[in-house]
Amino acid sequence: MNIGNLFVLAILCYYINYILIILISNKKRNKILIKNEELDKLRLIQHKTLEEQKRFLDLKQPKTIWKFSWNWLLCCFLQLLIYITIYFTIYIVFKYYDWKIPIWLGISFMMIFPIIMNWILKKFKINA
């Protein structure tokens, strides 16, 4: 396993996990769609009042107050399990087919793949 393969493996793990969580979860997808609609409405207003500016900033960069909960811990373990499963699945595929990706191709994949994924997610109107 060379460095180019690791670059491709890392970016694929991240985006596959993102797609699994966002596109499959209707609850998260609906929240993102509603937030994006409201952000688009606020972006169209040229001169915002103070309340509209506060609302825009709260939607764009929400403040999160971290509180411990067992549900949160369970979600973290589940996410970690998904990452590990995806990583080893792709790793086994790379080993089975004996793919050797040069480092320059791995770096270019890391630069181009997120652009393609953002374009696809914008087609689904899910640009979180």
pLDDT per residue over 87-108, tens digit each? 898 888 888 888 888 888 888 8
Separation of alpha carbons 128 and 113, rounded Å: 16
Residue at 65 is within a domain: no
Residue at 34 is within a domain: yes
**In terms of residue numbers, what domain contains 91?**
3-39+70-123
pLDDT digits (tens, 9 = 90+) for 1-53: 678 888 888 888 888 888 877 777 778 778 888 888 999 999 998 888 999 99
Split into its structural domains, the chain has a count of 1
Question: Which among 77, 83, 35 has a CA at the least distance from the CA of 59?
Answer: 35
* C-alpha torsion sign, points 94, 83, 20, 127: negative
Residue at 60 is within a domain: no
pLDDT at 41: 92
Would the pTM of this model clear 0.85, i.e. be above it? no
The pLDDT confidence band at residue 127, using thresholds 50, 70 and 90, is low
- How many Å is the Cα radius of gyration of the chain? 19
pLDDT digits (tens, 9 = 90+) for 45-87: 888 899 999 999 888 888 877 777 888 788 888 888 888 898 8
Query: Which uninterrupted H or E stretch holds 50?
Result: helix 50-60
**Mean pLDDT over residues 104-120, rounded?**
87
Contacts 24+ apart (CB under 8 A), 33-36: 33/125, 33/126, 35/59, 36/125, 36/126, 36/127, 36/128
Tokens of residue 45, six digits: 């207003």
Separation of alpha carbons 80 and 72, rounded Å: 12
